[in-house]
């Protein structure tokens, strides 16, 4: 450990000698002027535009008291928001129950179709499904025609 410290001391001394040998350099005139202008601009700002650490004690205390006074209100607002979100989650559960019921109906329909498996030939089942699909397409087409006739021509 002491060997590492001694090596570090030697390195520090070497760097220190090298930096001292460089001499002092002045900043470019343009940079120096811009820095001083920015410092003057910041010093001219009103207290409320500066950082909180530079505010006078009275406004700082007033802000802290206002924040402390508003904390219970914020707490209550958070509780109300949580209750609202909880109610929204309950409302969202209704469509999920609907999806569950639809899936149960589909499963029941599948089990009902299995009853016909040995009774009705597969060709007839395909025919029934095709005819049902055609009837749905006709229903949609008639609805579109009725809509165009009744609503768009008025």
Give per-residue pLDDT as tens, 72-123. 888 888 887 777 777 666 666 666 777 778 788 877 777 777 777 777 787 8
Q: Is 25 left (phi over 0), alpha (psi -120 to 50) or beta?
A: beta
Contact 60, 52 (CB under 8 A): yes
Give per-residue pLDDT as tens, 27-73. 888 998 999 999 999 889 898 888 888 889 998 899 888 888 888 88
Which of 141, 119, 144 shows the shortest CA–CA distance to 128? 119
């Amino acid at each position: 450990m002491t060997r590492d410290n001694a090596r570090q001391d030697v390195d520090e001394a070497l760097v220190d000698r090298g930096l001292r040998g460089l001499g002092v350099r002045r900043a470019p005139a343009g940079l120096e002027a811009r820095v001083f202008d920015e410092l003057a601009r910041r010093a001219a700002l009103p207290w409320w535009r500066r950082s909180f650490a530079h505010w006078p004690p009275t406004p700082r205390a007033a802000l802290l008291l206002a924040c402390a006074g508003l904390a219970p209100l914020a707490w209550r607002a958070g509780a109300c928001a949580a209750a609202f979100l909880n109610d929204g989650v309950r409302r969202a559960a209704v469509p999920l129950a609907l999806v569950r019921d639809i899936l149960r109906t589909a499963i029941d329909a599948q089990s009902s179709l299995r009853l016909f498996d040995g009774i009705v030939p597969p060709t007839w089942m395909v025919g029934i499904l095709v005819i049902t699909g055609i009837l749905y397409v006709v229903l949609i087409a008639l609805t579109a025609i009725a809509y165009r006739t009744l609503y768009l021509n008025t």
